[in-house]
Amino acid sequence: VIDKHLPYFIFRAICALATLALFRFKATGKENIPEKGGFLIASNHTSYLDPIAVGVACPRRLNYMARHDLFKNALFAWILKYSCAFPVKRKSADLGALKEAMRRLKNGEGLLVFPEGGRQTNVYLSKPEAGVGFLAAKSGVPVIPAFVSGTDRAWPRNAKFIKPATNISVHFGKQIYIEGRMPYQDIARKIMENIRHLSC
């Protein structure tokens, strides 16, 4: 029987080889990723390379929320599907995407989210969206903050080409304990503060 997630691990292996060949890549804090059960990684987001960097750094398989319009291209939609990504409509309360995220977390899987929504140039000025607070509170899974650096230099916003030999690092912080009775926006702010703390 062929593992249904085999395409994911093939894509991940290709991404890992490309990342190690093109960049000076380092990942720390992997011990903070739980060995089993659902978990939520919340990361800063400055470049299209961020999902790849976090996916390569994480020792467990990840699911991804991807912008819904990326699924319009049939080939790209196929790649996203088999990379364990599912569509989300940004800047809106996409209940379908939140339900799918909850389903995967409750199923014992890992999920990568970017609390800022889209790419931001300054992690200290950005505001997190309440959706990450909702997922953290309702799922009850461990939340692991992550800080990615160097991807904004390796593939800057509006740049057509990547810059090889750039230093890229991913650091996973310690698990955050969430108080379920807190407002979702307050939980999102707490998670974002932990991400910012990793940048120091």
Residues 127-179 have pLDDT tens digits of 899 999 999 999 999 999 999 999 999 999 889 999 999 999 999 999 998 87
Question: For the segment 21-77, what is each residue's pLDDT rounded down to a tens digit?
Answer: 999 999 999 999 999 999 999 999 999 999 999 999 999 999 999 889 999 999 989
- The CA-based diameter of the chain, rounded to the nearest angstrom, is 49
Cα 156 to Cα 170: distance, rounded to the nearest angstrom: 17
Least confident of 13-22, 119-128, 185-194: 119-128
In this prediction, residues 101-119 reach a mean pLDDT of 95
CA–centroid distance for 99 within its chain? 17
CB 155, CB 163: distance < 8 Å: yes
Contacts of 181 (CB under 8 A, 6+ apart): none
CA–centroid distance for 112 within its chain? 3
- State residue 178's pLDDT score: 86
Query: Exposure string (b/e) for 102-128, b if CB count within 10 Å is 16 or more?
Result: bebbeeebbbbbbbbbebbeebeebeb
φ, ψ of residue 44 to 5 degrees: the values are -70, 165
Cα 183 to Cα 113: distance, rounded to the nearest angstrom: 19
- State residue 1's pLDDT score: 42
